[in-house]
Amino acid sequence: MSTFFSEMVWLCLAVTAVLGGTVLCKYKKSPGQVGSLAVCLAGLWGVACLLSWSLFWGLLFLSLSCFLVHTYFSGQALLPVDGKAVLVTGSDSGIGHALSKYLDTLGFTVFAGVLNEKGSGAEELRRTCSERLSVLQLDITNPEQIKAAYSKVVDKVQDRGLWAVVNNAGIIGFPGDGELVPMTIYRQCMAVNFFGAVEVTKTFLPLLRRAKGRLVNISSMAGGVPLKKLAAYSSSKAALTMFSSVMRQELSKWEIKVSVIQPGGFRTGIAGTIDMWDKQEKNLLDHLSPEVQEDYGQDYILAQRNLLGYIDKCSRTDISPVLRDVHHAVRAKSPSAFYAPGRPSYLMLCFVSLSPTSLFDYVTENMFSSGNLKPRALSMPKLKNKAM
Ligand SMILES: NC(=O)c1ccc[n+]([C@@H]2O[C@H](COP(=O)([O-])OP(=O)(O)OC[C@H]3O[C@@H](n4cnc5c(N)ncnc54)[C@H](OP(=O)(O)O)[C@@H]3O)[C@@H](O)[C@H]2O)c1
């Protein structure tokens, strides 16, 4: 019996050494894929296994852990680029623009869809990227432009198909209490963030099927976490997230992998400019009934735009976590279904799924609000009592 155990100990030791060595080699080759924290945790786990149990059980658990980590790493391995073709929508500015450049430097054949092919973003892509990159006029709310872009992509990729579509184009609209925001903003958000992405997806899917490729949809943390003043934007992103999850299930039979990216706050052009805010504010005021204007009061209504400044101020400037996650979704052998680049985004998504609604609402009460400003009618004692 004791000979059996000592043989098993040697076997476990050998298995652990082989798997552990392979894991370390893989980690060294792709250091970006896992933090050094994970490696430290694995080391601690190994020591804990050896200290907590007998040598035999400790080694058995350790070799099992190494096997699991090894399986995980195998899924993290990056596929060769081999000039694979990728379409990125909304490449004029922000994440899409940076992503098109990044994928180009990695050797992908990039189709950079832009809202304005004569704009400065498009010009910069032509000027700074390789000849593999093609700039395509692609307003994703315009079916004719989607068809024209499809024809151009087919001409170039021929039988190879398209490896990935990154539905990145998106707008935030104008923030405000759901009651105040005009229907035009709800419709614009749905038109770009949801219907546009769905139409691009449906058009390009035959090409993705040929390549057994990837669909990567850039949704938002706001599509999974209810944030005040973002009803129009969040609803359109929630629709995109759910669409992506259903497509993930349906497209697996074609070996197409679908990922959703849910970024938190990154400073890009998404918050818009003061000119745009002025226009949107006028649009909002034009659409409000006298009764709603009376109940909310001018001060409260005019403070809605403060959120855009607040979003801009609180956002981080380094968008590399988003680029890294999209790159992983496009290229890893086994991409994740969800990515939440940016720590706040990840924590918020965990928080909303784990905490009771009342706790979540309490904690986020003053987030994204215009200070302590209340609608005019709620500040009047008579109406307050009436409401109670
Ligand atoms: N930044 C963040 O913190 C954050 C957080 C969560 C999710 N996201 C999502 O990330 C994606 C990229 O946003 P971003 O932050 O990079 O903002 P951005 O700089 O405003 O980029 C959005 C891009 O989409 C383009 N676009 C707008 N409407 C379009 C249309 N109808 N057809 C084609 N392109 C259109 C814009 O063109 P113009 O430049 O000409 O307007 C712009 O190039 C969006 O889907 C956004 O919702 C961003």
118 shares a domain with 246: yes
113 shares a domain with 20: no
Say if 339 falls within a structural domain: yes
User: How far, in Å, is the centroid of ligand 1 from the Cα of 339?
Assistant: 18
Question: Which strand ranges, in their side-by-side order, compose the sheet holding 214-218?
Answer: 134-137, 109-114, 85-88, 164-167, 214-218, 257-261, 338-339
229 shares a domain with 171: yes
270 shares a domain with 155: yes
From 95, 166, 317, mutation site for ligand 1 pocket: most ligand atoms within 8 A of C-beta: 95
The answer to whether residue 300 is catalytic is no
User: How far, in Å, is the centroid of ligand 1 from the Cα of 182?
Assistant: 21
User: How far, in Å, is the centroid of ligand 1 from the Cα of 209?
Assistant: 26
Active-site residue identified among 27, 150, 233, 310: 233
Rounded to an integer, what distance in angstroms lies between the CA atom of residue 239 and that of residue 193?
Answer: 9
Say if 372 falls within a structural domain: no
112 shares a domain with 26: no
Q: For position 32, what pLDDT does the model report?
A: 47
Instruction: Looking at the CA of residue 269, tell me the nearest atom of ligand 1.
Output: 19
Q: For position 388, what pLDDT does the model report?
A: 44
359 shares a domain with 292: yes
Q: Spell out the per-residue pLDDT of the chain, length 388, in tens.
A: 556 666 666 776 677 777 677 766 666 555 444 555 566 666 766 666 666 666 666 666 667 777 777 677 767 789 999 989 999 999 999 999 999 999 999 999 999 999 999 999 999 999 999 999 999 999 999 999 999 999 999 999 998 999 999 999 999 998 899 999 999 999 999 999 999 999 999 999 999 999 999 999 999 999 998 888 999 999 999 999 999 999 999 999 999 999 999 998 899 999 888 888 889 889 899 999 999 999 999 888 888 888 888 777 778 889 999 999 999 999 999 999 999 998 676 677 777 777 788 777 777 776 655 556 788 788 776 555 544 4
140 shares a domain with 221: yes
Instruction: Looking at the CA of residue 233, tell me the nearest atom of ligand 1.
Output: 47
Say if 123 falls within a structural domain: yes
Say if 35 falls within a structural domain: yes
Q: What is the pLDDT of residues 284-316, one digit of tens each?
A: 999 999 999 999 998 888 888 888 887 777 788
Residue with token string 């994970």: 38
Say if 214 falls within a structural domain: yes
Say if 68 falls within a structural domain: yes
Say if 280 falls within a structural domain: yes
Q: Whole-model pTM?
A: 0.85
Contact (CB, 8 A) for 257 and 214: yes
- C-alpha angle 223-226-230 in degrees, rounded to nearest 5: 80
User: How far, in Å, is the centroid of ligand 1 from the Cα of 167?
Assistant: 10
For the record, the structure tokens of 209 come out as: 């099927």
210 shares a domain with 281: yes
310 shares a domain with 170: yes
Helix (H), strand (E), coil (C) string for the chain: CHHHHHHHHHHHHHHHHHHHHHHHHHHHHCHHHCCHHHHHHHHHHHHHHHHHCCHHHHHHHHHHHHHHHHHHHHHHCECCCCCCEEEECCCCCHHHHHHHHHHHHCCCEEEEEECCCCCHHHHHHHHHCCCCCEEEECCCCCHHHHHHHHHHHHHHHHHHCCCEEEECCCCCCCCECCCCCCHHHHHHHHHHHHHHHHHHHHHHHHHHHHHCCEEEEECCHHHCCCCCCEHHHHHHHHHHHHHHHHHHHHHHHHCCEEEEECCCCECCCCCCCHHHHHHHHHHHHHHCCHHHHHHHCHHHHHCCCHHHHHHHHHCECCCHHHHHHHHHHHHECCCCCEECCCHHHHHHHHHHHHCCHHHHHHHCCCCCCCCCCCCHHHHCHHHHHHHC
Which domain-ending residue is among 76, 107, 128? 76
Q: For position 23, what pLDDT does the model report?
A: 67
Which domain-ending residue is among 48, 76, 104? 76
Q: What is the CATH number of the domain that holds 227?
A: 3.40.50.720
Structural domain of residue 221, as residue ranges? 85-363
Say if 378 falls within a structural domain: no
Ligand 1 pocket at CB < 6 A = 89-90, 92-96, 115-116, 138-141, 168-171, 192, 196, 218, 220, 263, 265-266, 268-270, 315
284 shares a domain with 246: yes
267 shares a domain with 227: yes
Which residues does 211 contact at the CB level (< 8 Å), separation at least 6?
A: 84, 85, 160, 161, 162, 163
From 97, 117, 171, mutation site for ligand 1 pocket: most ligand atoms within 8 A of C-beta: 171
User: How many domains is the chain built from?
Assistant: 2
115 shares a domain with 25: no
Which domain-ending residue is among 26, 54, 76? 76
User: How far, in Å, is the centroid of ligand 1 from the Cα of 356?
Assistant: 32
